[in-house]
Structure 1
Amino acid sequence: MTILRNMSFVFLILFPFTCLLASEKPDYADIRKHYEDLEKNDIRALPYVNQYIRKAKNEANFAKLVQGYRDAVLFTPSEQKKLVYADSTIYAALRSGDNDLISIAYLGKGIIYYFNFIKFKPALDEYVKAYQYAKNTKDEYLKHKILYHLGVVKNYLGYYREAIEHFNDCIAFFEQKTKDPLHPNEIYNNKRGYLNSLHQISVCYKNDEQYSRSDSIVNIGLSKANESNDFLLEKSYFLKSKGILNFYHDNYDGAILYLNQSLPAIIKVGDFEWVSIIYFYLGRSQMKNDQEKAIKSFQKVDSIFNKHHFVVPRIRSNYEFLINYYKKKKNIDKELYYTKQLLKADSLISKDFTYLSSKIHKEYDRQSLLDEKEYLEQTNFNRTVLTIIFCILAFIFLLLFILHYRKEQNILIKYKALQDKFDSAGWVNKAQTESFIHSIEPKKMILTPEISNELFEKLSSFEKNHEFTQKGLTQNKLASMLKTNTYYISTFINETKGMNFNHYIGELRINYITELLYSNQKYLNYNIEALAEECGISTRQSFSDLFFEINGIRPKDFIRKRKEEVGSG
């Protein structure tokens, strides 16, 4: 009983102190100590991260809440949950009113889109927002982090020289920071920034076919990454680059060796963009000695494409190798499948590049991020105007082409019709010696049969001897030549031909010159004036108009078609 009484007494004394200790909540640093040394995507960190977030919410401490959600992004293995936490980070940052935090939040979401989903469109949208909020920041680390990610997008788009400028700036900044007296975590982050910038600039130089410069940077990167076991992933990226460079130096065994060494760590972090590129270059290297292995590597690229709906332009030819392989094997099903896959890849690449190229040129300039907006708005306006002008000109050219095509088709039809006449037996003779016989039934004859027969004989001789080619031939002159009067001439032509005197003479002349052009090649080299003179017509224009009226085609077009026909024959 005494012992129980003594224990009760001790409890009563210690109880207030126990309550006081229980009421003392751990601070933010204490909570983070439980997980800050864990690796990315380690779920053991999540209970403590949630405790950190609850504390920040209860205290309405939005700056700490931003940190808590960023930690959740880091340690959550689910890619979809990373996006959810990224949105929560943005919400908390906006509530904080701190532009640096807002910029960091948008940048973080962009990185998730890029690294976890390889979605350049939404990633670039988030980078744009991060850039806008960081315009006036004094945080140089944040500025260069944004600059780094802009360089990544520009490298993807093929703007290698601009990306190289970004990465050179980042290399200079991060390298200097690794030498400053900073907290070990800050030094680590700057070292990673330095190594990643080295890796990206080596990729730029490789893409720009500056292989020797890329080689030297990769060797520097490997040397620096080997200084610590903390940078095994960064080392793997340099090994990957060394493998690709070996391929371009035709050292295929070396390429296979380095590429295989790089794969495990890059697969582990889920970087399927570089995994697909590694498999592509493995396939290219294996093609020299083991085609079956190469095809398996190419098929792994296709598997990644099917799973993630992503392909980079540089490995588009992956499908060309597969198509050609199965074409030689006469495997129609496989050839068709990979042809369809190539079409899908082309569509995706085209869509991404159209969007990204336009977007990046609206938002950034390699000379100065801060002064870009005004300059590029004007550039965009100019491009729009030029596009409209180009569309109008294209429409006009298309219209002119259609009109020209229709005109040429009409000329061809008319020429063929004339050609059919010439190919008909006796057409020329009929045209000259029997041209007065018209297809219509003559009306009741006004002239006596004697006069008509006499005029028939005289006009036949007139036509046969080509007397109609005389210049300045009038109805009076013809009447005088035939020793008759103009009334008889006019009446006979009207009755037998159904036309007046001028039309009669004009038709004789045009039929005559047309026959010469068709039957004698030397006339094809005459100019229009000479042809007009040959058939008795006084002016070039009159000849051209009359030729068109009777034949339905201009003399120059008839000559061109006839030359084409003679030349082809």
Structure 2
Amino acid sequence: MLFLSLSVLGQNKTKDLTKLTYNELHDLYFDNENNPKKQILYTNAYMAKAIQENSRIRKAKANYQIALLYYASDKDKAIQYLDSVIKYSENTGDKFFPAAAYCEKADFLKRQLKLEEAMNNYKLAEKIALQTNIDYYYVVRDYIGTTKSEDLGEYKEALAIYKECYNYYITKNYRKQYANDFQITIFGIADCYKSLQNTDSTTYYNKLGFQESKITKDGYMHYLFILNEGANQVLKKNYKAALDSVHKALPKMIENKDLGNTLASYFYLGKAYDGLGQKENAVKNFLKVDSIYAETKEITTEFIDGYPYLISHYKNIGDKENQLKYISKYMVIDSILQKKYRNLNKIVHTEYDIPRLISEKESLITSLKKDNAKSYLGIGALILIILTVSTFGFYQFELKKKYRTRFERIMQRSAIRNNEEHNFEKAKTIKPAILKSEDIGIAEELIQEILGKLDGFEREKGFLKSDLTIQSLSNLFETNSKYLSKIVNAYRCKTFIQYINDLRIDNAVENLKAESKLRKYTIQALALEFGFNSAESFSAAFYKKLGIKPAYFIKQLEDSFKIN
């Protein structure tokens, strides 16, 4: 529905864009990778043009672009669109499709831990590319090598594939057109040798890749080879050299937002510091590995040794809670990896024996329970805290429901505004009929004059002045403060302060709804924006009129716009 529900303006824009060539639309789509709204326009135009011309391969490419938009948010939806790519591009003889679609689908399946299905899709891509595009065939072979090496641990098979690709690229223009593919292949060979602990061959290919990346000025690959050699130096137990290399590479990995290799950098820093006997630095870096895993939920068998290290560290210093914490995390990761490889009849070999870990975990839990049970007073306090938290939680739940209801009432502005206008008219017509001018001791002509000035004051938003007082406003109206106060009380049905604050809060609500940039302001900045002298006075007035705090209102407003 995201791609079909365009406004009339959007449809006209799409219609105009169909006058562009497919190549122009393709380039515009990929030139706007950080602007999904524009990408949707270009891919819709691409699709409209393909449908108009009834071109199967162009429909396939449009579906491919849509699949990429779902890459991060909905992998199942992305796979559905990739299946459409495959359907439309079968037997078209295109150089990249459906082979590229099978590769992308395999990547999604890998992320869902469906390695067997992923390999089947890579093999389908390989078979098609061999017939339609020999260059892409070797790209697919490289993907298969990466999967065997990084995901399956089949380093010898992966090495054979990488060398096959190397022998192909070495016959090509490997410092221009094929430079990136060639260097990725070299890295794959070096990485496989590292995993096989053939450190001399690893160094040879890291140096080769380093030289090639320097010649072609590929900064990212340049530092990737430095990082890989740093890891290799850890295996050689040259820990100072390892630290030097990894510290050089780490900033580049962070700059490129490469979380996988950032995690690898921290892991090998931890190993190097451990090798130098700097235990505290080792712990710090293994904790950073854990923090990245917590963010990405992705880790391979190569980098899980930090968890046994943390378990032993906290055991040695008697920190039972952290020891239990990292035993639990390690067991979760182990279960995920076992699930990942189960369908392929592989076993993940880990440093710790899991049954022993389970026993250790149960002992820790028992020990912690005994520690907690030493004092009945402590148990009573714990129960009291739980009851208090539960009661508070229930209270907060009910309060949130109440606040949500109040927020929804505020958002129904048309009904509320009509009601307020109705009440306002009643205040101006019905109340004056009851209150004669002599009831408040002011002449009728003066009352009407001041009411007219109040109307103008409201329209021109004079209430936004932060130093406004009843005295300053009565001076502006050329009357006295007592008359002004009586008229506001009688005809606006409010005290002067309540009248001014309500005008400011109504104005704040409408502006916060209309201007997204205001919703980024601090409460203090908003207070000044809407005529209040402090965040506290703004919040108090907002709550008094609407029954919710401004911070809550802004958060709910943001959430409602995201949903819409």
Post-superposition offset of 1:117: 7.3
Pair 1:179–1:319, CA change in 2 (3 A):
closer
> Residue 22 of structure 2 contacts residue 46 of structure 2 at CA under 8 Å; is this kept in 1?
yes
Give the counterpart of 1:279 among 250, 262, 266: 266
Report whether the alignment pairs 1:256 with 2:243.
Answer: yes
Report whether the alignment pairs 1:51 with 2:45.
Answer: yes
Pair 1:96–1:310, CA change in 2 (3 A):
closer
Post-superposition offset of 1:210: 0.9
Pair 1:142–1:244, CA change in 2 (3 A):
same
Q: Distance in 1 between matches of 2:99 and 2:339?
A: 27
> Residue 62 of structure 1 contacts residue 92 of structure 1 at CA under 8 Å; is this kept in 2?
no
For 1:417, the equivalent position in structure 2 comes to none
Pair 1:354–1:271, CA change in 2 (3 A):
farther
For 2:193, the equivalent position in structure 1 comes to 205
For 1:241, the equivalent position in structure 2 comes to 228
Post-superposition offset of 1:203: 0.5
Matches within 5 A, 1:465-504: none
Query: 201-210 or 96-105, which moves further after superposition?
Result: 96-105
Post-superposition offset of 1:335: 0.6
Letter of the 2:185 partner, please give it.
S
> Residue 149 of structure 2 contacts residue 155 of structure 2 at CA under 8 Å; is this kept in 1?
yes
Q: Distance in 1 between matches of 2:88 and 2:247?
A: 47
Q: Distance in 2 between matches of 1:42 and 1:193?
A: 28
Letter of the 1:352 partner, please give it.
K
Where in structure 2 are there 5+ consecutive unaligned residues?
Answer: 1-15, 348-564
Give the counterpart of 2:72 among 79, 97, 117: 79
> Residue 116 of structure 2 contacts residue 344 of structure 2 at CA under 8 Å; is this kept in 1?
yes
Q: Distance in 2 between matches of 1:24 and 1:112?
A: 31
RMSD of aligned Cα (Å): 3.3
Q: Deviations over 1:408-451 (max 9, x none)?
A: xxxxxxxxxxxxxxxxxxxxxxxxxxxxxxxxxxxxxxxxxxxx
Where in structure 1 are there 5+ consecutive unaligned residues?
Answer: 1-21, 181-186, 360-569
Secondary structure (helix, strand or coil) at the match of 2:299 reads coil
Q: Deviations over 1:103-151 (max 9, x none)?
A: 221112223555x7787455335324434555x6242123212211221
For 2:83, the equivalent position in structure 1 comes to 90
Give the counterpart of 2:26 among 25, 28, 32: 32
Post-superposition offset of 1:340: 1.5
Post-superposition offset of 1:206: 0.7
> Residue 73 of structure 1 contacts residue 81 of structure 1 at CA under 8 Å; is this kept in 2?
no
Give the counterpart of 1:335 among 323, 339, 343: 323
> Residue 272 of structure 2 contacts residue 282 of structure 2 at CA under 8 Å; is this kept in 1?
yes
Query: 330-339 or 346-355, which moves further after superposition?
Result: 346-355
Give the counterpart of 1:169 among 164, 168, 179: 164
Q: Deviations over 1:154-190 (max 9, x none)?
A: 223232221111001111223333269xxxxxx54x3
Post-superposition offset of 1:48: 3.2
Report whether the alignment pairs 1:105 with 2:101.
Answer: yes
Report whether the alignment pairs 1:123 with 2:118.
Answer: yes
For 2:377, the equivalent position in structure 1 comes to none
For 1:184, the equivalent position in structure 2 comes to none
Post-superposition offset of 1:235: 2.3
Q: Which has the higher contact order (CA 8 A, sep 6+)?
A: 1
Q: Distance in 1 between matches of 2:325 and 2:58?
A: 52
Secondary structure (helix, strand or coil) at the match of 1:226 reads helix
Pair 1:56–1:269, CA change in 2 (3 A):
farther
Q: Deviations over 1:186-232 (max 9, x none)?
A: x54x3221111111110000111111111111111111112234x33
Report whether the alignment pairs 1:308 with 2:296.
Answer: yes
Secondary structure (helix, strand or coil) at the match of 1:79 reads coil
Q: Distance in 2 between matches of 1:164 and 1:352?
A: 22
TM superposition score normalised by structure 2: 0.52
Q: Deviations over 1:307-345 (max 9, x none)?
A: 333332222221111011101110001111111122222
> Residue 69 of structure 1 contacts residue 85 of structure 1 at CA under 8 Å; is this kept in 2?
no
Q: Distance in 2 between matches of 1:167 and 1:282?
A: 28
Q: Distance in 1 between matches of 2:73 and 2:17?
A: 37
Pair 1:268–1:130, CA change in 2 (3 A):
farther
Report whether the alignment pairs 1:218 with 2:214.
Answer: no
Q: Distance in 2 between matches of 1:317 and 1:109?
A: 31
For 2:466, the equivalent position in structure 1 comes to none
For 1:355, the equivalent position in structure 2 comes to 343
Q: Distance in 2 between matches of 1:317 and 1:175?
A: 37
> Residue 69 of structure 1 contacts residue 86 of structure 1 at CA under 8 Å; is this kept in 2?
no
Letter of the 1:242 partner, please give it.
E
TM superposition score normalised by structure 1: 0.51
Pair 1:308–1:113, CA change in 2 (3 A):
farther
Aligned pairs, number: 327
Post-superposition offset of 1:298: 0.7
- State the identity %: 21
Q: Distance in 1 between matches of 2:143 and 2:199?
A: 23
Q: Distance in 2 between matches of 1:263 and 1:73?
A: 32
The runs of at least 4 aligned residues of structure 1 exceeding 6 Å deviation read 116-119
> Residue 66 of structure 1 contacts residue 92 of structure 1 at CA under 8 Å; is this kept in 2?
yes
Q: Deviations over 1:284-313 (max 9, x none)?
A: 112325422321211122223333333322
> Residue 62 of structure 1 contacts residue 93 of structure 1 at CA under 8 Å; is this kept in 2?
no
Secondary structure (helix, strand or coil) at the match of 1:227 reads helix
Secondary structure (helix, strand or coil) at the match of 1:296 reads helix
Post-superposition offset of 1:240: 1.6
| Structure number, greater radius of gyration | 1
Post-superposition offset of 1:256: 2.3
